[in-house]
Amino acid sequence: MSDTSSNQERYARTPRTTPTRYKDRASWERAEIHAILDTAWICHLGFVADGAPVVLPTIFARVDDRLYLHGSTGSRPLRAAGDPAGLPVCVTVTQLDALVLTKSAFNHSVNFRSVVAHGIAEQVTDPAELTLALDALVDQAIPGRSADVRAANPKELAKTAVIRLVLDEVSAKSRDDDAQDDPEDEELPYWSGIVPVSAVYGEPRPHPGTMRELPSYLRDFQPGGAPC
């Protein structure tokens, strides 16, 4: 994704983006935060509806310092984001990298990378920005795909809503470490270590109605290849 919106190397640190535990795992580095966002497809959108918290999974994409989230025009948060005041939200993204197994149940953990962003979400109404956002959402999983499909028609666009969250109050948190057994557990006869976790692409399977050969951007996504 593009990174032309700011020359600052870090996002500003705020009370909401400063963890109360394991502060050494937090980061406000732009490059680190963007790297986590750009290799994920699903985020969780948190907001308050009728006085109660709601968290919904949805697809997203980053363009510069903006997150775009997709949904139906009938979706509660997307409707609420159309209000002039916008919608206060919290967006989270988590990537699991390994299971961490220790000799005690208490010390089990996971290696992970995560991003938490706070702010006011607004509905995208400008046609040019909406096109940019929808293309980015398609390209988030398969770069280059938006240029190789039929664009949404007016009827489809009428059913589709996109909200924008400017990345301003945002931080990352991660763990990348081995199993950490307590000294008194070192001699216990249990296995400890890590189990790496990764996502891979399977072999593309064409639909029976597909007549063309596999596009070049899909040939790069072969079994065992890491998502990028």
* pLDDT the model gives residue 2: 57
Q: Give the side-chain half-sphere CA count within 13 A for 47.
A: 21
pLDDT tens per residue across span 22-34 = 888 999 999 999 9
Q: Please give the single-letter amino acid code of residue 153.
A: N
CB 106 within 8 A of CB 36: no
The dihedral over CA atoms of 191, 194, 196, 197, expressed in degrees to the nearest 10, equals 90
Domain borders along the chain are 15-197, 202-228
pLDDT at 7: 60
Q: Is the pLDDT of residue 120 over 90?
A: yes
Look-up: residue for tokens 């953990």? Answer: 109
Strands in the chain per DSSP E: 26-27, 42-49, 52-63, 66-72, 87-101, 109-123, 160-166, 169-175, 193-196
CA 106 remoteness from chain centre: 29
Least trusted range by pLDDT, from 8-17, 20-29, 72-81, 109-118 = 72-81
**First CA to last CA across the chain, in angstroms?**
11
User: From CA 165, how far away is CA 123, in angstroms rounded?
Assistant: 9
Rounded distance between C-alpha atoms, residue 19 and residue 14, angstroms:
10
Query: What are phi and psi for residue 195, nearest 5 degrees?
Result: -115, 105
Question: What percent of the chain lies above the pLDDT cut of 70?
Answer: 93
* HSE-CB of 84 using CA atoms within 13 angstroms: 0
Q: Residue 133 carries which side chain, given as an amino acid letter? A: A
- Fold classified for 15-197: Pnp Oxidase; Chain A (2.30.110)
Helix (H, G, I), strand (E, B) or coil at 129: helix
